[in-house]
Every structure is written in structure tokens, then in C-alpha cells.
Amino acid sequence: MDTSSSTRMPGRLVPSTGGRVPVRVRGFVDGVAPRVRAADRGFAVVLARSEHDVVKVVHGVTVLGFLSPAWSQVVDFELWSCEQAGEPALARAVLEGRAGDRDLFVMLDWPRRRA
């Protein structure tokens, strides 16, 4: 996903800092991954709170997997803020590995320490 592109997707980037920590998406099955050009391994996904207190990772109408409970808590406030603003929470996703045996990661950030 080219963050310098002039094309804006509707929604708000989560985390607002853009994300530098790759977080593995649990329950990801490579067969449901969107087709991505080899040069672009990254693409946009929507993060949404679920009724199970974990964050689901969605591309189009397909749920690709879920964040761990700990990471779900880290992004919960930003997701709530997006919901209040009526905007989808977008994140950068990256596929790693060979086709058929890939892992999906979402780029997030550690929470800032509060003084």
C-alpha cells in the first residue's frame, strides 16, 4: 500500500502514526487473501471491533482473521473514535511468505507511555 499516493481511501488510518510493528493476524487462511501484485505485498484492510472483544481484520466483505486480545485492547480507543466519527478504521496489511503458505500482518504501534 503506497501511503504517498494521492488517492485517498474513505476512512481513518489506525494507528494515526501509521504503524511500524507487524502484528500477526490470527486465523488467517492464505486461500482467502486478496490478490496483490508481487511488488506491492501490502494493501488496506478495515479493523472493526467484534462482539467477542477482539478486533476483526476485514478486506471487502471477507473477514481475514483477528488480532490477539492484547492488540485488540491497544487499538480499541482508536476504533471507538472512528465509530463515533462514522469512519472505517483502516490499517496497512502485509503478506509475508510464499503463495499458499503466507502469513498476514497488520502494521500497528506500541501504545505511548503516559507520564
Task: Tell me the average pLDDT across 38-51.
Answer: 82
| Separation CA 65–CA 24 (nearest Å) | 9
pTM over 0.85: no
Q: Tell me what pLDDT residue 25 has.
A: 97
Residues in the chain: 115
Rounded CA separation 4/104 (Å)? 22
Assess whether pLDDT exceeds 90 at residue 65.
yes
Mean pLDDT on 80-106? 91
pLDDT at 58 over 70: yes
For position 12, what pLDDT does the model report? 82
